[in-house]
Amino acid sequence: MALLIDGYNLLHQAGIFGPGRGGASLQRSREALLRFLAASIAPPELPRTTIVFDAAEAPPGLPRTITHTGMTVHYASEYEDADAMIEELIAADHSPRKLLVVSSDHRLQRAARKRRAPFIDSDVWYAQLIRDRERRGKSAEKPSPSKPSGQLSSKEVEYWLEEFQVEEGEKPHKSPDRPAKPPAELPLDNPFPPGYAEDLFDDENGSG
């Protein structure tokens, strides 16, 4: 889902303010907020995230639109305030039902409701974002499953010894589905009955 964030509204709800006073302090606060969002929003969602700030006290010469870690950042320099620009962005969105408006401003929530776009208060969304970030961090810290050691337990050894009918301490000489090959040095039993074909051997000996 695409995100449309009321920058200053979220800034106040999150309590992110840089040290000092005036425009320099406000700029540091904006930068701190953008860094926080870049580190907290899931990477696939960053290109679908838009933040709008008022142009008041914006850095001199700053472009009206910049890109920060894939996110689009607008300074509403040609509008009365950021709310007017956000209202226009909501009205122009082609898929408003897939657009989440992040602002506690009732004016913007009414504009979202008019287009049937979902919206959420900045403080609620901020708390949810913190929880999601912590959950992803914990998931990343989980150790990967260890590889099997290949060692059988005593019960497994007992089972397979019984299955192959092997005495403990003795190694099996054959697999269960293939007969063993007789050792070459052992004589094979005569498969014929006693006296069978002895006359053939006698004739052969006599003729020789």
Over residues 71-102, the pLDDT tens digits come to 999 999 888 899 999 999 999 999 999 999 99
Q: For residue 175, is pLDDT > 60?
A: no
Cα 14 from chain centre: 27
Cα(62)–Cα(82) distance, rounded to whole angstroms?
Answer: 16
Q: For residue 5, is pLDDT > 50?
A: yes
Residue 128: partners with Cβ closer than 8 Å, 6 or more residues away: 120
The confidence score (pLDDT) of residue 13 equals: 86
Q: Report residue 123 as tokens.
A: 């403080």
Span 164-170, average pLDDT: 51
Q: What type of residue sits at position 168? A: E
pLDDT category at 186 given cuts 50, 70, 90 is very low
Share of the chain above pLDDT 70, in %: 59
- Judge contact between 68 and 91, C-beta under 8 A: no
Q: Report residue 180 as tokens.
A: 């063993």
Span 116-136, average pLDDT: 93
**Taking the alpha carbons of 120, 11, 54, 66 in that order, is the dihedral positive or negative?**
negative
Cα(116)–Cα(93) distance, rounded to whole angstroms?
Answer: 11
The model's pLDDT over 9-22, given as tens digits with 9 standing for 90+, comes to 999 888 876 555 55
Q: If DSSP codes are grouped into helix, strand and coil, which group holds residue 5?
A: strand
Residue 172 — φ and ψ, nearest 5°? Answer: -70, 140
Q: Looking at 19-23, 73-77, 104-108, 192-196, which range is the least confident one?
A: 192-196
The mean pLDDT value of the chain amounts to 77
Share of the chain above pLDDT 90, in %: 46
* 8-to-23, 105, 195, 198 alpha-carbon distances in Å: 13, 11, 111, 112
Element of type H or E holding 64: none
**Taking the alpha carbons of 133, 137, 138, 139 in that order, is the dihedral positive or negative?**
positive
> What is the DSSP-derived secondary structure letter of residue 170?
P
The confidence score (pLDDT) of residue 9 equals: 94
